[in-house]
Amino acid sequence: MTRRYFGTDGIRGSVGQFPITPDFMLKLGWASGRVFARQCSGGSHCTVIIGKDTRVSGYMFESALEAGLVAAGVDVKLLGPMPTPAVAHMTRKQNAEAGIVISASHNAFYDNGIKFFGPDGSKLPDEIELAIEDELDKDITTVGSRDIGKVVRVEDAAGRYTEFCKSTVPEGFNLRGLRIAVDCAHGATYHIAPSVLRELGAEVFAMGVEPDGFNINEGVGSTDIAALAQMVQEKGADVGIAYDGDGDRVLMVDNHGDVMDGDELLYIIAMHRLATGKSDAGVVGTQMSNLGLELALRAEGLQFSRAQVGDRNVKAMMEANGWVLGGESSGHIICSDVTTTGDGIVASLQVLMALKAAEGNIAGLRAGIKMFPQTMINVAANGRVDLAAHPEIADAVSGVEERLGERGRVLLRPSGTEPKVRVMVEGEDEGEVESLCSELAACVERALA
C-alpha cells in the first residue's frame, strides 16, 4: 500500500496547510489512539506519551492530539518541550504503548510535523502506520464517558532524561578540564544539554537556549553553525556542539572552528570503540555518507554498509547486520547498545569520551579520515517526483559518473521531508565536483520544469 500521509520521518509540512492543521491532528490523535488501543491487553487503558519541540504551533497540535487520543479511550502523558530521543526513552520507561513527537526537526518555525515511536522506543513499523492511515478514513466516534482517557503532565521529565544521558557514559567518567560551547538551536535541548555537560564537569558556554516559539533553528543549531564556530574561537573552547531543533542530530566544530559533520563524528566514535575493544565488525552509513568515511573504516578493518537515507533504514540495516553503530552525515547517529534511536546528546557524549581519551587532541582523532569534496544542490520540485520518468536525467547522471570514475559518486534522490530533489556529486577535485553538480542540478531543474 502507498502511504498518503507518512513520509520518511513521520508527517511534516507547513502549519495551516493540510495535513498540518488542527482538525487533521484531532483526527490523527483519534485514529492512532484506535490503533494503539487494539494493541493493549487486559481491558485497561493504554498510555501514549506526547512531547514537542519549542515552536509555537506545538501548543495547538498538542491539544488537538490529546483530544483525539482521549476520545479513543487512551490515557495521555504530556512531557512538554523535550528532545525527540527523550520521548523515545520515556515511552519505554513509562511502559507506554506509543510516543508522539510534535516537531519539524531542523525546519523553520512555520513548519511542524508528527513522529511516532512504538513501545520499544523505535519508529513505528510500516503496518502500524498503514493501520493509522486506514482509520483516518473513518468518522470520529467517542468512547463511552466512563472509557474516555485521562491526561497527566510528567513534571520531572527533563530531570529524568538528564540522568539517562549521564548514565550512557561509564561510571566515574567526567568532562573536567574541557571548555565546551554548545548551541541548542532554541530548540528541544535548550534546558537539558547544557545541564548534562555541566553536571559531568565541563565548563559550558551556551547559546540558542532562549526559545520564543519563533526562533527555533533561526541562525543557530546544526543547520547554521557559523555562530557556534565564532563562539568557540572567542571563548577559546576545546570543542563546540550543535544540535538541531528536536535534538536527534548533532554536529561539532573543533577548537579552530572547523566543522565536523556526522561522517567524521561516526568515524571518531568507531575508532574509539575499536581502540577500547568495544567495536563491531562494521558500521552502517547511508547513500549520502562521504566516500572518505567508507575508505577510512575499511582501512582499519571495519566493514561499511550503505542504507537508504533515513534513520529507520539505518536502524534496519544495523539490526540485519548485527551491528550497533550507524548514522548519517547530517549528524543523526545511532548507538543502539546505548539507546534505541538517533540521539544528539548521547552521540555527542560518545565523541567527548573519545576526545577526553585523546587528551583534547581533535586533530589526532580526525587524522585517519580524508573527507572527499562533496557538493549537494537542492532542486525545487512540485510534489512527489519519479526520477525514472525522465530519461534525460539518467543520461546526465551516466555522463557525470563516467567523468568521475571509481573515485567519485553521484546521488539523486527526492527528499522525504521537503518538496525537493537532492543532487549530490562527490569526488577528489573540489572544483570539478562543484562544476559537475551544478551541471547536473541544472539538468534536473529543466526536466522538472
Last residue of a domain, one of 259, 283, 308: 259
Q: 84 and 210 share a domain?
A: no
Coil, helix or strand at residue 41:
coil
pLDDT of residue 7: 84
Residues 222 and 186 in one domain: yes
On whether both 335 and 222 belong to a single domain, the answer is: no
Q: What pLDDT was estimated at residue 199?
A: 98
Residue 192 included in any domain: yes
Same domain, 285 and 391: no
Q: Which of 329, 349, 371 is the last residue of a domain?
A: 371
What is the CA 294 to chain-centroid distance, rounded? Answer: 21
CATH number for the domain that contains residue 439: 3.30.310.50
225 assigned to some structural domain: yes
**C-alpha span between 193 and 80 (Å, rounded):** 16
CA Rg, the chain, in Å? 22
**Residue 198 forms part of a structural domain:** yes
List 105, 195, 279, 329, catalytic entry? 105
In this predicted structure, what is the pLDDT of residue 161? 98
For residue 236, which of 257, 212, 264, 211 has the smallest C-alpha distance? 257
Whether 229 and 142 map to the same domain: the answer is no
pLDDT (0 to 100) of residue 406: 81
pLDDT recorded at residue 1? 55
Both 347 and 444 in one domain: the answer is: no
Say if residue 365 is in the same domain as residue 417. no
Residues 30 and 123 reside in one and the same domain: yes
Give domain status of residue 62, yes or no: yes
Q: What residues of the chain score a pLDDT lower than 70?
A: 1, 41-43, 417
- 168: which 3 cell numbers? 550512557
CA distances for 429 relative to 34, 152, 372, 408, 409, angstroms: 55, 57, 8, 9, 12
Same domain, 329 and 418: no
- Could you tell me where the beta strands, DSSP code E, fall in 194-258? 203-207, 239-243, 250-253
pLDDT digits (tens, 9 = 90+) for 176-206: 999 999 999 999 999 999 999 999 999 999 9
Interstrand relation of 98-102 and 11-14 (parallel, antiparallel or unpaired): unpaired
Residue 383 covered by a domain: yes
Domain boundary among 122, 156, 190: 156
6 assigned to some structural domain: no
Strands 250-253 and 239-243: antiparallel
311 and 225 inside one domain: no
Residue 20 inside a domain? The answer is yes
pLDDT at 449: 84
pLDDT (0 to 100) of residue 42: 65
Assigned C-alpha cell, 225: 553553525
What pLDDT was estimated at residue 398?
95
Are residue 135 and residue 34 in the same domain, yes or no? yes
For residue 182, what is the domain's CATH number? 3.40.120.10
3-state secondary structure of 77: strand
Q: What residues make up the domain containing 114? A: 11-156
User: What confidence score (pLDDT) does residue 3 get?
Assistant: 80
Q: Is residue 245 part of a domain?
A: yes
pLDDT at position 399 is 94
The reply to whether 435 belongs to the active site is: no
Q: CA angle, corner 327, sides to 319 and 180, nearest 5?
A: 135
> How many domains in the chain?
4
pTM: 0.92
Co-location of 382 and 337 in the same domain: no
Direct distance between the N- and C-terminal alpha carbons of the chain, in angstroms, rounded to an integer: 29
